[in-house]
Amino acid sequence: MLRCLTAGESHGPSLTAILDGVPAGLPLAAEYIDQQLARRQGGHGRGGRMNIERDRVAITSGVRGGLTTGSPLTLVVANKDWPNWCRVMDPGAGADLKSRAVTRPRPGHADLTGAIKYGHRDMRNVLERSSARETAARVAAGTVARRLLEELDILVAGQVVQIGSIKARALDLTLDTEKLAAAVANSPVYCADPEAGAAMVQEIDAARAAGDSLGGVFEVYVFGLPPGLGSYTQRDRTLDGRLAGALMSIQAIKGVEVGAGFAAAAARGSEIHDEIFYRSDRGFYRSTNNAGGIEGGMSNGDILLLRAAMKPIPTLYKPLRSVDIHTKQPFEASVERSDTCAVPAACVVGEAVTAWELAAVVLEKFGGDTMGEIKERVALYRDYAKSF
Ligand SMILES: Cc1cc2nc3c(=O)[nH]c(=O)nc-3n(C[C@H](O)[C@H](O)[C@H](O)COP(=O)(O)O)c2cc1C
Ligand SMILES: C=C(O[C@@H]1CC(C(=O)O)=C[C@@H](OP(=O)(O)O)[C@H]1O)C(=O)O
């Protein structure tokens, strides 16, 4: 069973992820994880904090000589901003609890409800952990899962398809995965459509100049999944349910679609369901993929298509109204620094949480303590499914 817990505050010394259940024998290098951490820090529209951080992972357990050992992995990402906060964030009795106390809840954040729930009069105790800084730890963990899936020829990709009202052309899914990855990597907003990408950059600059912020939509694609991951037998085992939960758990994500998603609601049944065909050299196949690769809570062998909507960043240079929890007086929030748009970063997080959930269902189906065992079982099952 694959399990992960993360810990750490946005302005604390570091973020930590503990991963349990990663099989032995998986080739894993810190530099591989660092590539994804760098992607998560990037994307046009990020704020001043990203000029301070240079996320790098330290693997402090579970890997020897470049291979996982089967023991729990500990992944640590240091916060370079920490020296500026060490007195404020000090766990000891001498901490400076006054100078950066937060008594003015920011609309769109966990501040007010978190303070009520945990009984805090200083909402720094809430915002430090609710911050999306935590996603650095989840990307580090998800990248271990991405590595595991790659060994099984399962590839995870993603791109931004909308920023504000600017939309990309629909992706041609016959595009090979390397070309897709290159097009996304060359885009300042991680969008494979260069024209839409340029318009998105302009839109972000205009929002920033106006003291405003933007949200958008990203897609995650997974190639090479065998049929039968997840299950219809208990509803908490459905693959779409689990993936939607994983994507929804990302800070600021407000909607998730699988395949045609909400558009399916407006179509006739005859237009939307993917008909099934058979050819002896190919086995069973479908010529459309409106289901997005999932039917009955299970992967059906087609490309997995997920889409997630992110709300605009809630901290605005143009202030929103709120009320001080001590004085009960209204105020307009002032901002020191914030992202204008973090949809590209969220896309990288989306890929990571998708990879994590998929690695978990792969291990549930195929078991095994070593990568050798798992590879053998997946290969056998792929042959079986193809000749079914
Ligand atoms: C990668 C990423 C970066 C973010 N950066 C900021 C930011 O700079 N300022 C901000 O106010 N919110 C930012 N957010 C959004 C908040 O973390 C989020 O809105 C908040 O935690 C409340 O969560 P909820 O929207 O899921 O309710 C970011 C989110 C993500 C995923
Ligand atoms: C630190 C990261 O994102 C942060 C997420 C975030 C929020 O409120 O979620 C607020 C900002 O932090 P700060 O207030 O320190 O500038 C972002 O920079 C990161 O992605 O690594």
Residues in the chain, total = 388
Distance 280 CA to ligand 1 centre (A): 50
CA distance 157 to 44: 19
**130 in a labelled binding site:** yes
Q: How far apart are the C-alpha atoms of 260 and 271, rounded to whole Å?
A: 11
Q: Whose CA is nearest to atom 24 of ligand 1?
A: 252
| Residue 200 CB–ligand 1 contact under 6 Å | no
Q: Residue 101 is part of a domain; what is its CATH number?
A: 3.60.150.10
Q: Domain span at residue 275?
A: 3-386
Backbone dihedral angles phi then psi of residue 20, each to the nearest 5 degrees: -115, 140
Q: Which residue has the tokens 């009320």?
A: 323
C-alpha 160 to ligand 1 mean position (Å)? 17
Annotated binding residue 325: no
Summarize pLDDT for 74-122 with one digit per residue, the tens: 999 999 999 999 999 999 999 999 999 999 999 999 999 999 999 999 9
Number of domains in the chain: 1
The reply, when asked if residue 131 is annotated as ligand binding, is yes
Each residue's pLDDT tens digit, 337-374: 899 999 999 999 999 999 999 999 999 999 999 999 99
User: 308, 304, 305: which is closest to 343 by C-alpha?
Assistant: 308
The reply to whether ipTM tops 0.95 is: yes
Of all protein residues, the one whose alpha carbon is nearest to atom 7 of ligand 2 is 131
- Averaged over successive runs of 10 residues, the pLDDT of the chain (388 residues) comes to 97 98 98 98 96 97 98 98 95 94 94 98 97 98 98 97 96 80 95 97 97 97 98 97 98 98 96 95 93 98 97 90 95 83 98 98 96 98 95
Question: Which ligand 2 atom minimizes the distance to the CA of 135?
Answer: 20
d(CA 259, CA 180): 18
Q: Ligand 2 atom closest to Cα of 55?
A: 21
Could you tell me if the CB of 338 is within 6 A of ligand 1? yes
